[in-house]
Copies of this chain bind each other. A is one copy, B any other.
């Protein structure tokens, strides 16, 4: 690995800056909007693009252009690139490169989760400074236990990257499992999601990341966090990736009501809400959405 390739993997905040501190900078300067790049087949058709790897490449590149200057974070949904096999991943690599060149923070929405030795393969794919898939952060799934993500988290921090761990997701069919009760050693219990929240916060604190941690949480905006046993006051210093706004029903104007004191470290994810404006209207839609998020925290 050359010094130049390391620098390229840590684009903002200077070489060696953690993901948490780079994200904190972006939240202050650009606000909390995260533009999801989810090139569904129906969106490709609405955009007049072919339903192919070339189509997802073009939509992705246009979405990066439309975001740069108005918001600081993009989140490509890997599934819609994977749909086209290796050609789709080549398209994703081009979109990721364009997003890096535009100075955006890039979250790969891949929700990978496996045993530790297998997660090492995913960690190299998404974090190695020489990987064409390298991102600033990756979404990961804890079904195999938070500790199965240990080496992935360590590898991320090593290169100034981060992860967002699924905790309470925005889809209603997730509730039963994510509120299942995990027994503690002292006879008490907490929900599966609340346990993930505690483990993530403890991990950021143990890493000494006092400003903003590099390990974040996915906490859907459609979720009644209190009923999951999640106290928003305990989220201080932990970045939150929040799907569920817009089409799924949550309102950006409820940002503080939903996340309390943690609202300023929430990434408000929107995809359909801006992509549906089409190639000509998307830049204005991103500008308006970014302004809405900022105004709700003013």
Binding site for B on A (CB under 8 A): 38, 40, 77, 79-80, 82-90, 92-93, 111-122, 124-125, 128, 131-133, 141-148, 166, 169-171, 173-178, 180-183, 189, 191-192, 195
Is A93 within 8 A of B85, CB to CB? yes
Contacts of A122 in B (CB 8 A): 79, 82-83
Oligomeric state, in copies: 2
Bound form: Cα–Cα A176–B114 in Å: 16
Is B145 within 8 A of A143, CB to CB? no
Is B192 within 8 A of A86, CB to CB? no
Contacts of A82 in B (CB 8 A): 121-122, 125, 133
Looking at the assembled complex, report how far the CB atom of A297 sits from the nearest CB atom of chain B, in whole angstroms.
26
Contacts of A111 in B (CB 8 A): 112-114, 141
Bound form: Cα–Cα A183–B181 in Å: 9
Bound form: Cα–Cα A83–B276 in Å: 32
Bound form: Cα–Cα A71–B87 in Å: 31
Bound form: Cα–Cα A128–B79 in Å: 14
* Given A148-B173, A166-B143, CB of A85 within 8 Å of CB of B132: yes
Contacts of A115 in B (CB 8 A): 169-171
Bound form: Cα–Cα A169–B146 in Å: 13
Bound form: Cα–Cα A122–B146 in Å: 24
* Given A83-B125, A85-B89, A121-B80, CB of A174 within 8 Å of CB of B192: no
Looking at the assembled complex, report how far the CB atom of A250 sits from the nearest CB atom of chain B, in whole angstroms.
14
* Given A89-B85, A111-B114, CB of A79 within 8 Å of CB of B177: no
Is A174 within 8 A of B125, CB to CB? no
* Given A85-B132, A177-B143, CB of A148 within 8 Å of CB of B125: no
Contacts of A174 in B (CB 8 A): 143-145, 148
Bound form: Cα–Cα A91–B112 in Å: 20
Is B182 within 8 A of A125, CB to CB? no
Is B117 within 8 A of A40, CB to CB? yes
